[in-house]
Amino acid sequence: MEAAPVTDQIDDICKDYSMSSLVSAGWLASQAEQIADGSLVLLDASISRTSDGYHDGRSDYEAGHIPGAQFADLFAQFSDSAVAFAFAAPGLEQMTAAARSVGIQQRTHVVVYDRLSGAWAARLWWLLRSYGFSWVSVLDGGLASWDGPLAVGPAPVPPAGDVLLQSQPGFFVALKDLPGQPLICALRGSEFDKGHIPGSTSLPYPSLLAPDGTIDLVKARAAAQELTGQERVVLYCGGAINAAGLALALHEGGLDLQRLSIYDGSLSEWKSAGLPLATR
| Residues 49-105 pLDDT 10s | 888 878 889 999 999 999 999 999 998 999 999 998 889 999 999 999 999 999 999
> Which pLDDT value is given to residue 261?
98
pLDDT value, residue 174: 96
Which sign, positive or negative, has the C-alpha torsion 251, 255, 260, 266?
negative
| H or E, element range at 110 | strand 109-113
In a domain, 203, yes or no: yes
pLDDT band at 229 (very low <50, low <70, confident <90, very high): confident
Q: Using an 8 Å Cβ cutoff, are 166 and 160 in contact?
A: no
Query: Residue 3 pLDDT > 70, yes or no?
Result: no
The verdict on 203 and 247 lying in the same domain is yes
* Residue 122 structural domain: 6-145
How confident is the model at residue 5, as a pLDDT? 42
Residue 24 and residue 130 in one domain: yes
175-180: Cβ within 8 A, 24+ apart? 175/263, 175/265, 175/269, 175/270, 175/273, 178/234, 178/263
Q: Which of 145, 160, 190 is the last residue of a domain?
A: 145
User: What are the backbone angles phi and psi of residue 151, rounded to the nearest 5°?
Assistant: -100, 155
Mean pLDDT of the chain: 92
Same domain, 227 and 104: no
Does the residue 12 lie in any domain? Answer: yes
Burial of 99 (0-12, 13-18, 19+ CB in 10 A): buried
User: Which of residues 128, 145, 162 is at a domain's end?
Assistant: 145
Tens digit of each residue's pLDDT (9 = 90 or more) over 5-50 = 434 444 443 434 345 899 999 999 999 999 999 999 999 999 988 8
So what's the pLDDT on residue 228? 85
Once rounded to an integer, what is the mean pLDDT over residues 163-174? 97
Q: Is 163 within the bounds of a domain? A: no
Residue 57 in domain: yes
CATH of the domain at 126: 3.40.250.10
* pLDDT for the residue numbered 161: 96
pLDDT digits (tens, 9 = 90+) for 125-137: 999 999 999 999 9
Same domain, 133 and 39: yes
Q: What is the pLDDT of residue 48?
A: 87
Query: Is 189 a residue whose pLDDT tops 50?
Result: yes
pLDDT at 231: 86
Query: Domains in the chain: how many in total?
Result: 2
% the chain with pLDDT above 90? 84
C-alpha dist (Å) from residue 146 to 34, 37, 64 = 17, 21, 12
Give the pLDDT of residue 97: 98
Residues 135, 10 contacting (CB under 8 angstroms): yes
Which residues lie across from 262 on neighbouring strands?
Answer: 172, 235
Confidence category of residue 265, pLDDT binned at 50, 70, 90: very high
Please, which pLDDT band fits residue 166 given cuts at 50, 70 and 90? very high
pTM for the whole thing? 0.92
